Structure 1
Amino acid sequence: MQSMNAKDAVSASLAECFITIEGNRYNFMQAINLEASIEKTKSEIPILGRTGKGNKTTGWKGSGSATFHYNTSIFRELLYRYKETGQDVYFDIQITNEDPTSSVGRQTIILKDCNVDGGILAKFDADAEYLDEDLDFTFEDWEMPEQFSHLQGMQ
């Protein structure tokens, strides 16, 4: 029986996060964590001759959440702009995971047309070690220009 080598677990902190807003690309090194997922939307399909219904995928929706150190005003600027002008700004987020110890290589996901759900305007905490902020968002599309290779023994 073959099993995974411990060295092939991808380090949680060895990642890069870039955000592109209106042609400006920012290295979001202040990101603490980010998770994006898709949820498939399905319709229940009645089928003659069966007691149960089938399920057919009819689409998907993308959403995500992230935590950042509270040391950038970029998202507050987008929220302020929306408040003042009604113009909502969409942006892309690129996440690359690569651990040089692991044999799987690197994976890059680009989340397209992201839009924040809201955000923190001001914050303090006299009892905290540092300030961070959570951000929820949706996205309209995604690409995977690089993907992890298979571990030895998977195929």
Structure 2
Amino acid sequence: MQGIKTLNLTNETVAGSQGAVFCEIGSRRYVMANLTKFKAKFKVNITKKGVLGKSGKQAKPGGWEGSWEATVYYNQSTMRALAEEYKNTGVLPPFNIQTINEDQSSVKTIGRQSVIFKDCISEEMIISMLDVDAEILEEDLSGTFNDFDFPEKFKDLPSA
């Protein structure tokens, strides 16, 4: 078929290592340069109900949940300080996480994407770690978020 653009060229993909992550706690903004992986998920809570005259259940969205996971090098105490504050005061300060996907080899074609996850809470973290067999210590963090915004979105690819 002539005239149809080939989609998903390599210059329309994003390299996983090209970008940045920031964490804003209170009035301080931290560069999360020690981060090696980050993933945020949006899950729709589905309610399933039977309906007269239908043999199957019908699905209806009933809210949503946001969760995030990260792997970081074990070289900062920022999140552990939040755990200590919660232990001492009973107040767990929420924070924001901003992720930016920006691959210079594809930015002209698809642009960049920036997402801000709001009111994040870290649910689980390591307080202390040692491993005689590890060349580099890494830790997994996880938590939730209550809101998100897209200050920047990737450009839509042309349709065929």
Question: What are the superposed Cα offsets for residues 108-137 of structure 1, whole Å, 9 maximum, x if unpaired?
Answer: 111000001121111111221111111011
Q: Contact 1:16 / 1:95 at 8 angstroms: preserved in 2?
A: yes
Unaligned segments of structure 2, at least 5 residues: none
In structure 2, the residue matched to 1:138 is 144
- With structure 1 as the length reference, what TM-score do the two structures score? 0.94
Contact kept? 1:35, 1:66, Cα under 8 Å: yes
Distance 2:89 2:54 in 1: 55
Count of residue correspondences: 154
Q: Which residue of 1 aligns with 2:94?
A: 90
Letter in 1 for 2:71: T
Distance between the aligned counterparts of 1:85 and 1:66, measured in 2?
A: 26
**TM-score of the pair, normalised by structure 2:** 0.92
RMSD over aligned CA atoms reads 1.2
One-letter amino acid of the counterpart of residue 62, structure 1: G
Deviation larger for 27-36 or 42-51: 42-51
Q: Which runs of 5+ in 1 are unaligned?
A: none
CA distance in 2, matches of 1:131, 1:14: 22
The 1-side partners of 2:152 and 2:122 are apart by 25
Q: Of 11, 20, 45, which residue of structure 2 is paired with 1:7?
A: 11
- Specify the code of the residue in structure 1 equivalent to 2:136: Y
- Identity value in percent: 37
